[in-house]
């Protein structure tokens, strides 16, 4: 029996599948949205776009945009006691609504 793959998207069936009515292409507005430095964003993975996708471990996390790198953004996230930099394209980011 072959050893199973433990690739980038392993153990993420629930996170990385769209619900039935959400299937298909995502709106273009999500691709062209822009964030300034210091903007608070939530990382919500778009399963329809594999490119520029952060690791599934960061799905649902809130972070702060630090810089733009090409088409992507560098987002700082607190993970335990340390701060990590996650590189993500705008398709996988949403603005945090003020409460």
Q: Domain residues for 29?
A: 20-95
Question: What average pLDDT does range 29-56 have in this prediction?
Answer: 94
CA distances to 3, 52, 80, 81, 89 from 94, in Å: 37, 15, 22, 24, 11
Say whether 87 sits in a helix, a strand or coil.
strand
Q: Is residue 6 part of a domain?
A: no
The count of domains in the chain is: 1
Region 42-62: mean pLDDT is: 93
Q: What average pLDDT does this structure show over 79-97?
A: 95
Q: How confident is the model at residue 89 (pLDDT cuts 50, 70, 90)?
A: very high
pLDDT band of residue 8 (cuts 50, 70, 90) is confident
CA distance 76 to 35: 13
Does residue 10 lie within any of the structural domains? no
Q: What's the CATH code of the domain at 63?
A: 2.30.30.70
What does the pLDDT read at residue 25?
87
With a pLDDT cut of 70, the percent of the chain lying above it is: 99
CA atoms within 13 A on the CB side of 69: 12
For residue 90, is it within any domain?
A: yes
DSSP H or E run through 40: strand 40-43
Which CB contacts under 8 angstroms, 24+ apart, belong to 73-77?
Answer: 73/35, 73/41, 75/41, 75/43, 77/43
Average pLDDT, the chain: 92
Distance linking the first and last C-alpha atoms of the chain: 53
Partner residues linked to 69 by β-bridges: 72
């Amino acid at each position: 029996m072959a050893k199973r793959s433990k690739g980038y998207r392993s153990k993420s069936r629930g996170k990385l599948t769209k619900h039935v009515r959400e299937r298909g292409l995502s709106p273009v507005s999500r691709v062209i949205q822009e964030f300034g430095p210091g903007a608070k964003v939530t990382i919500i993975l778009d399963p329809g776009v594999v490119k520029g996708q952060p690791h599934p471990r960061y799905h649902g996390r809130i972070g702060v945009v630090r810089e733009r790198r090409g088409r992507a953004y560098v987002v700082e996230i607190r993970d335990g006691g340390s701060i990590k930099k996650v590189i993500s394209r705008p398709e996988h980011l949403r603005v945090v609504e003020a409460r």
